[in-house]
Structure 1
Amino acid sequence: MATPQRTLNLTRGAILEVPTLLVCLRHFTVVSLTLLSRGLTAPNLRMKPVTALGVLSLVLNIMCAALNLIRGVHLAEHSLQVAQEEVGNILAFFIPSVACIVQCYLYLFYSPTRTLKVLLMLASICLGNAYLHGLRNTWQILFHVGVAFLSSYQILTRQLQERQSDYGV
């Protein structure tokens, strides 16, 4: 006997089957982790010291990640018991939360492909907040996107330290 297929209405007019959504989420996770793992560490390279504006962007980014995570968990607790249609909104909170944490990592540690990663994280934060337009007011969206732009700017302007020449050592 065949099991009935459950469907989710993620956007206006678009219907996705639950297995298809899970495959898309798994593919997104694998691609993201693959991009992040390429050239993640460079033990001999050191970044310049963190500035006061950099500390501010880190604190704001951690706060945005925590707010997204709290809202996503709260929405998941209440929505999954009542309606399956909210999976898109739950993912729209969790994906920017992970992107904020990755932005913190990119600011603190060097990565050879950081420009591509910064653009990918910025795009995911902006798209996630655009998707949540009905659940957030304009000031909340502007705050989250502004923090993402500030962090992206801080990541891209933080340079490597110049190597000291140690000829005799």
Structure 2
Amino acid sequence: MSLVLFASVVRVRDGLPLSASTDYEQDKGLQESKKHLKSLSKKLCQFPDRCSLRSGIFNINFTSSLGVGYMMVCSENYPNVLAFSFLDELQREFIVTYDTKRINSALRPFSFIEFDNFIRKTKQRYNSPRSLSTKINLADMQTEIKLRPPYQLSAEDIGSINGFSEHRQSKYKGIAPNQMLEALTLSGIVACILSVLCGALNLLRGVHAIESVLQCYLFAYFSVWRNIKSFLAFAMICLCNMYLYELRNMWQILFHVTVGAFITLQIHLRRPQGKAPDYNV
């Protein structure tokens, strides 16, 4: 029988459990899968934002967004589209119910234990897929899974906790920050064009334009420590213009520094999306 057996909500940065479903299942295989889930919860920041792991006759699925992870154990034949639709419902309700500041400041495990009522009710609905199919639209989730299927983890990808093999350099290293940025704004487009212009002018002067190129890249794509890199690039722009002080007049220097500051601000303002643009469709 295809069932959702267990679900939990955890904080990504440290694996602190925030809420979980209450269950009395004593199946040894399920208890082992829950141990694996607990181990995974402590390492969510290392993984892509949507993953699956086979654990005996069970599957562990999880998603993460905005610093919170949503995890579940289900039977091995439970449909992927239902599993991730279930997690998506938990996510939408949780981010509406609790603000980020409260989540980040939580100190004790299960600080949001009252959320288990919603988990329990949602689990009951998803364990009755016949009645469920008439109440929700799975087309969007089906399309999303086809376009970006969950990453299939293996025991080799994870450290030696609760029976897992020793951690190795993971083959998915580098796709973990698989984040989309917010939509482009007019000011951001202008800043990017001006930065390209400054880079071209620097090349004409025989000066490396790598700082402007880097800032354009940081504006266009998500990167780890993105804001810090943009500030360092801006600092290099300022230093280069100090070096060119005798070759440029004050207005030229002011133009390059202002453009560098402008695109640095745009990089800071263009934040990663928590979900795809069609999240609430």
TM-score (structure 1 length as normaliser)? 0.58
Q: Which one of the candidate residues 195, 198, 203 is aligned to 1:69?
A: 203
**Residue 162 (structure 1) shift:** 2.3
1:46 aligns with 2:180: yes
Are the aligned partners of 1:61 and 1:104 in contact in 2 as well (CA < 8 Å)?
Answer: yes
| Conserved? CA contact 2:179–2:272, under 8 Å | yes
* Large movers: runs of 4+ above 2 Å: 39-44
- After TM superposition, the score normalised by the length of structure 2 is 0.36
Which gives a bigger RCO, structure 1 or 2 (Cα 8 Å, sep 6+)? 1
Q: Distance in 2 between matches of 1:104 and 1:50?
A: 13
Alignment partner of 1:62: what SS?
helix
- Please give the residue correspondences for 1:20-169 in structure 2 after superposition, counting only pairs within 5 Å: 44-72=178-206, 93-94=207-208, 97-163=209-275
Structure (1/2) with the larger helix percentage: 1
Task: Give the superposition deviation at 1:146.
Answer: 0.1
Q: Which runs of 5+ in 1 are unaligned?
A: 1-38, 73-92
Instruction: Note the aligned Cα RMSD (angstroms).
Output: 2.0
Name the residue aligned to 2:63.
none
- Whether the 8 Å CA contact 1:48–1:159 is kept in 2: the answer is yes
Higher strand content, 1 or 2: 2
The answer to which of 112-121 and 144-153 deviates more is 112-121
Cα distance in 2, alignment partners of residues 118 and 67 from structure 1: 20
Larger radius of gyration: 2
In structure 2, list runs of 5 or more residues that go unmatched: 1-172
* CA contact 2:177–2:224 (8 Å) conserved in 1: no
Distance 1:98 1:41, change over 3 A: farther
State the Cα deviation string for residues 8-32 of structure 1 (Å, max 9, x = none).
xxxxxxxxxxxxxxxxxxxxxxxxx
Number of equivalenced pairs:
105
Quote the sequence identity (%).
42
